[in-house]
């Protein structure tokens, strides 16, 4: 029996199996990995726009997930944790919905690759003693930071 605006039966939602979700995630990362640097996120954005049959609710939930992951990343910046990972995943989610974010992430990727190549070349040209000095200094800075973080929270 129906009462006014209430439906007589609940809609049947499709079952989502964990295996299907993991297959989609693997496919997504495979597409990102095989796209050329500087084009990855733009291509993903274009693919998402071409397949624009997704519901508004799903898009809102994805953006909400991106915001939640970005907030977790902000919290993890101040306590020990993998903040960069959360920022990357949140950025990838935002890049699917925004052309501007997709372009910015592609440009950032190209710059980071260039920076990493320069750093790696610089490191390879260093002698063993200078590499040891750099590593010892980095360990000292990390230990000092960990100590003061521990003292601040205890």
Helix (H, G, I), strand (E, B) or coil at 38: coil
CB 96 within 8 A of CB 45: yes
Say if residue 29 is exposed, middle or buried (CB neighbours under 10 Å; 0-12, 13-18, 19+): exposed
Whether residue 13 is contained in a domain is answered as no
pLDDT at 111 (0 to 100):
94
Whether residue 88 is contained in a domain is answered as yes
DSSP annotation string for 70-126: HHHHHHHHHSSS-HHHHHHHHHHHHHHH-HHHHHHHHHHHHHHHHHHHHHHHHHHHS
Which residue range is the domain that position 113 belongs to? 23-126
Whether residue 104 is contained in a domain is answered as yes
Q: What is the pLDDT of residues 142-153, one digit of tens each?
A: 999 889 888 888
Q: What is the pLDDT of residues 84-135, one digit of tens each?
A: 888 888 888 888 888 999 999 999 999 999 999 999 999 999 999 999 999 9
Q: What is the pLDDT of residues 2-60, one digit of tens each?
A: 555 555 555 555 565 667 778 877 887 788 788 888 888 888 888 888 876 677 787 88
Please tell me what DSSP assigns to residue 27.
Answer: H
Q: How many domains does the chain have?
A: 1
Query: CB count, 10 Å around CB of 89?
Result: 16
Whether residue 140 is contained in a domain is answered as no
CA nearest to 107, candidates 30, 152, 46, 40: 40
**C-alpha to C-alpha distance for 116 and 118, rounded to whole angstroms:** 5
- The whole-model pTM stands at 0.63
pLDDT at 143 (0 to 100):
92
């Amino acid at each position: 029996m129906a009462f006014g605006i209430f439906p007589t039966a609940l809609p049947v939602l499709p079952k989502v199996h964990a295996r299907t979700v993991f297959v989609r995630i693997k496919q997504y990362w495979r597409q990102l990995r095989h796209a050329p640097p500087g084009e990855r996120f733009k291509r993903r954005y274009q693919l998402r726009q071409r397949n624009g049959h997704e519901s508004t609710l799903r898009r809102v939930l994805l953006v909400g997930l991106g915001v939640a992951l970005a907030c977790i990343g902000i919290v993890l910046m101040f306590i020990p944790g993998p903040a960069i990972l959360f920022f990357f995943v949140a950025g990838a989610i935002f890049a699917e919905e925004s052309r501007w974010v997709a372009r910015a992430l592609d440009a950032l990727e190209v710059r980071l690759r260039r920076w990493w190549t320069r750093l790696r070349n610089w490191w390879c040209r260093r002698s063993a003693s200078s590499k040891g000095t750099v590593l010892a200094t980095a360990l000292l800075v990390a230990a000092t930071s960990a100590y003061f973080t521990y003292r601040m929270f205890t």
